[in-house]
Chains A and B, each alone.
Chain A
Amino acid sequence: EAQVTQNPRYLITVTGKKLTVTCSQNMNHEYMSWYRQDPGLGLRQIYYSMNVEVTDKGDVPEGYKVSRKEKRNFPLILESPSPNQTSLYFCASSLTGVMFQPQHFGDGTRLSIL
């Protein structure tokens, strides 16, 4: 089954404790992306990757890191999480990053930073 898998689905942690949210897709997609969803703000793009070893900032990259060492994986790293990073996070992938390519979304990861 074609899917984007995020782990963990839920995480409660404390300020400053490094964490990684994993994302994996099995569709051989080139383009992958991370979003955060906050009430009233919709989804905002954090980082995206056009292909292996190619990443770029979205609209809200501060406080986050990503890497793309393999085509299927695109982890999101919070080196020193803060309470304002409490949010619902989505990973997505598409065949390419060019026009008309819809994205496939994971089920989301709800992060709470205390």
Chain B
Amino acid sequence: AQSVTQLDSHVSVSEGTPVLLRCNYSSSYSPSLFWYVQHPNKGLQLLLKYTSAATLVKGINGFEAEFKKSETSFHLTKPSAHMSDAAEYFCVVSDASGTYKYIFGTGTRLKVLA
């Protein structure tokens, strides 16, 4: 069965410093992996997706993630945090097992300090 674990429920960084949000996945098949962002009282917006074409995936707003099969990880990074990055971030896995389900992590709330 597929699953996803976001290792930190809350992360605080200072504006201008790097961001690292950690995600580990479990999947018996080749996974599809996504990161979504949810700003307060808003819906979810796709940040980036892993398509198997490249292990380093670039997304919107300067975010990127690296797929590491040996570590079953898909961590989200950004070189320099901006105040507008404060939001909740979700790692999502879906695999080719035929269940057509999307499994969400429990989320990481990012706080950006001035």
Chain B interface size, as a band, is: 20 to 34
B42: which A residues are within 8 A, CB to CB?
107
Residues of A near B50 (CB, < 8 A) are 100
What CA separation (Å) do A29 and B101 show in the bound complex? 16
Q: Mark A48-61, 1 if CB is under 8 A from B, else 0.
A: 10100000101100
Contact with B along A30-59 (1 / 0, CB 8 A): 010101000011111100101000001011
| Interface 0/1 of B85-96, CB less than 8 Å to A | 000001000111
| Chain A residues positioned under 8 Å from B26 (CB to CB) | none
Q: How many A-B contacts are there with CB distance less than 8 Å?
A: 58
B34 beta carbon closer than 8 Å to chain A: yes
| Inter-subunit contact A102/B46 (CB<8 Å) | yes
CB–CB B49/A102 < 8 A: yes
B96 touches A45 (CB 8 A): no
Q: Is the CB of A40 within 8 A of B9?
A: yes
Residue among A41, A44, A100, A108 making CB contact with B43, cutoff 8 Å: A108
Report Cα–Cα, A43/B104, bound state, in Å.
6
Considering the chains assembled together, what is the distance between the CA atoms of A68 and B44 in angstroms? Answer: 23
In the complex, the answer to whether A59 meets B44 with C-beta atoms within 8 Å is no
B77 interface residue (CB < 8 Å to A) = no
Interface residues of B (CB under 8 A from A): 6, 9, 30, 32, 34, 36, 42-46, 49-52, 90, 94-96, 100-107
